[in-house]
Structure 1
Amino acid sequence: MAVINDKGGNSSAAVSRRLASKWPRPVWHAPWKMYRVISGHLGWVRCIAVDPGNEWFATGSADRTIKIWDLASGQLKLTLTGHIEQVTGLAVSSRHPYMFSCGLDKMVKCWDLEQNKIIRSYHGHLSGVYCIALHPSLDILMTGGRDSVVRVWDMRTAVQAMVLSGHDQTVCSLLGQSPDPQVISGSHDSTIRLWDLRKGKASSVLTHHKKSIRALALHPHEFAFASASAENIKKWALPDGDFLHNMLSQQRAIINSMAINQDGVVATGGDNGSLWWWDWRSGHCFQQDETVVQPGSLESEATLYDMAYDMSGSRLITAEGDKTVKMWREVEDATPETHPGLPFRPPKDIKRF
């Protein structure tokens, strides 16, 4: 390599960063299989939240109910009614005996899980509310919806603390975390905004996507997150939202849901019933699956609306358009020899990770 010396005698080779020459190879992951189908809802299952104690999970549905299920057995424990339209978002607090729900009836509700009833309602959204997120350490709640803003609520007084405006269209995915940026939102205007809650405005706007961002997922260990859109899935480094790379395959579906577990297994679910598993570090898709609709359902109802790993990361729960909840786990006796997975093809044109 020719080294060009500037006037100060420094070589430009010392200034420019050397690009990594090899794409990281994927770690082998065991394939996943469905082991349980839970039916009970009378409408599309729109959202899932897992109890921080890993004993139960909640699902919200288009039948306007929230159902609590036992995580180990899949048995129905409780049905909560209170919304008058589809329930589109759920969040369970790890610091209070509270669960929060939002729906297309413009309502955000706080449920006391000791009394199993609504104790607060948060009024302020002008249209349907699509997503909800809790702050891990502050008593605040974030919601986003069709009125194109993220509203921040004081959990206890039900007062609207601030309105984060800047998106042009529906806010359909939200993340909350303790370090800055504390709120990350994805919208149908194909932008992701990282919000500074101290200033009440966006610290950065990510415009790399071309389509709606319907799913966001935080990595459990790394200070990074992923975003899913109809054209591709992208990885970002926090706090500034530096773009890392795209995932190596294209799912060719509207991706409604995404989840990442502690082992670096990323699951994404599309509106066509496709359920793909990826290796986080390399972006390699190692398994492609299709969900099967329940007998009596339309093929067009093979939609994955939401998904979540349990707290151990060993079970994946999916909320689907055929009115069921499905549970998935790794194949126990799988080895790299018996289940090699899809072949890995590193990108030819990109030299850097």
Structure 2
Amino acid sequence: MGGDVGAGHRVPTLFAANRGTMLAVAGGGSASVKVWDTATWDIVATLSIPRPEGTKPTDKSSSKKFVLSVAWSPDGRRIACGSMDGTVSVFDADRAKFLHHLEGHFMPVRSLVFSPVEPRLLFTGSDDTNVHMYDAEGKTLVGAMSGHAGWVLSVDVSSDGAAVATGSSDRTVRLWDISMRGAVQTMSNHTDQVWGVAFRPGGMPGRLASVSDDKSISLYDYS
């Protein structure tokens, strides 16, 4: 194995890319994302989030950049990660190069996902209770959706790109219509915070799953 994920560290986010054997890993309180080749278990790239301009290597402000979430665009060209300070960083995956920040959130970004049908479109969920929609190439906030009463802990996009699902510390799951920029359904069957939501993959919309700290998994049908 070419590297150590970090003994004794909890790695809160893993994303397995759709680029053969490549895996992007974030966690352990680090302000970086490591890209592994799982065929050899070598680290092939380390994507470091730049410090804010004017700070020194010893400044504690850089610790606020540690990564809480990571996503790979469906075309494999971009890697995005959400940080503790509310910023989203976008990298060129092939060149392992930082491109730019996406701003708009002011609290930790715990989940983010690219649209499976529009690689430029990135959805983010934050402790500020909002869901943002960005043009990740144009560095533009193109939409915002609000309604949760607590942190947005998880975000996913349906296979047809028409709907977004979110899970929250307010113990609800919300289904959002992207074209309407609004929630069309709220599911309140969980009794604790919802850490994960996922649409059925493979181009078959209509089924959604959620997982909660109440130790249950819920399945939903939607139209």
TM over 0.5: yes
Gap change, CA 1:179 and 1:117, over 3 Å in 2: same
- Kept in 1: contact 2:196–2:212 (CA 8 A): yes
How far apart are residue 227 of structure 1 and its match?
Answer: 0.6
Instruction: Determine the C-alpha separation between the residues in 2 that align with 1:201 and 1:135.
Output: 17
Mapped to 2, the partners of 1:205 and 1:76 lie a distance apart of: 41
* 8 Å contact from structure 2 (residues 116, 161) kept in 1: no
Q: Does 1:39 align with 2:22?
A: no
**Residue 230, structure 1, aligned to residue 213, structure 2:** yes
Q: What is the deviation of 1:101?
A: 0.7
Q: What is the CA–CA distance in structure 2 between the aligned matches of 1:69 and 1:133, rounded to whole Å?
A: 20
Task: Write the deviation string for residues 279-306 of structure 1: whole angstroms up to 9, x where unpaired.
Answer: xxxxxxxxxxxxxxxxxxxxxxxxxxxx
- Quote the Cα distance in structure 2 between the aligned partners of 1:37 and 1:98: 24
Shift, 1:181, TM fit: 4.7
Q: Is the 8 A contact 1:65 1:81 kept in 2?
A: yes
User: Cα distance 1:174–1:68, how it changes in 2: closer, same or farther (>3 A)?
Assistant: same
Give 1:37 shift: 11
Q: Tell me the equivalent position of 1:97.
A: 77
Match of 1:214, SS state, is: strand
- Secondary structure of 2:19 counterpart: coil
Query: 1:88 Cα shift?
Result: 1.0
- Pick the structure with greater CA Rg: 1
Report what 1:177 is aligned to: 158
TM-score normalised per structure 2: 0.84
Residue segments in structure 2 that go unaligned for 5+ positions in a row: 51-61
Aligned residue pair count: 204
Structure 2 counterpart of 1:162, from 115, 127, 143: 143
Conserved? CA contact 2:132–2:141, under 8 Å: yes
How far has the Cα of 1:77 moved from its partner? 1.4
Distance 1:38 1:212, change over 3 A: farther
Listed as ranges, the matches of 1:128-207 within 5 Å are: 128-138=108-118, 139-179=120-160, 181-207=162-188
Tell me what 1:271 maps to.
Answer: none
Q: What is the CA–CA distance in structure 2 between the aligned matches of 1:180 and 1:66, rounded to whole Å?
A: 26
User: Identity of paired residues, percent?
Assistant: 24
Q: Is the 8 A contact 1:102 1:109 kept in 2?
A: yes
Say if 2:2 and 2:40, in contact at 8 Å, map to a contact too.
Answer: no
Find the partner of 1:215 among 188, 196, 201. Answer: 196
Taking only aligned residues, the RMSD between alpha carbons, in angstroms, comes to: 2.0
Secondary structure at the counterpart of residue 211 of structure 1: coil
**Residue in structure 2 matched with residue 325 of structure 1 by the alignment:** none
Alpha-carbon distance in structure 2 between the residues aligned to 1:151 and 1:180: 15
- 2:106 aligned counterpart, secondary structure: coil
SS in structure 2 opposite 1:45?
A: coil
Report the alpha carbon displacement of residue 170 of structure 1 after superposing the two structures with TM.
0.2
Q: Which amino acid aligns with 2:212?
A: S
CA 1:205 to 1:181, structure 2 compared with 1: closer, same or farther past 3 Å?
A: farther
CA displacement at 1:165 relative to structure 2: 0.3
Matches within 5 A, 1:99-138: 99-138=79-118
Distance 2:134 2:91 in 1: 15
Please, which runs of 5 or more residues in structure 1 have no aligned partner?
1-35, 240-353
* Residue identity in the other structure for 1:51: A
Inter-partner Cα distance in structure 2 for 1:225 and 1:194: 9
Q: Which structure is richer in relative contact order (CA contacts within 8 A, separation 6 or more)?
A: 1
Whether contact under 8 Å (1:41, 1:63) holds in the other structure is: no
Q: Check whether the contact 1:54–1:71 (CA below 8 A) recurs between aligned residues.
A: no
The offset of 1:122, in angstroms, is 0.3
Shift of 1:71: 1.4
Cα deviations across residues 14-73 of structure 1 (Å, max 9, x unaligned)?
xxxxxxxxxxxxxxxxxxxxxx99624474322111221222101012122211111122
C-alpha distance in 1, partners of 2:160/2:45?
35
Give the alignment's TM-score, normalised by structure 1.
0.54
Q: Is the 8 A contact 2:176 2:185 kept in 1?
A: yes
Distance 2:211 2:12 in 1: 17
Structure 1 distance, partners of 2:70, 2:170, is: 23
Distance 1:136 1:82 in 2: 25
CA distances 1:93-125 after superposition (whole Å, capped 9, x unpaired)? 122511111110211011002221111210110
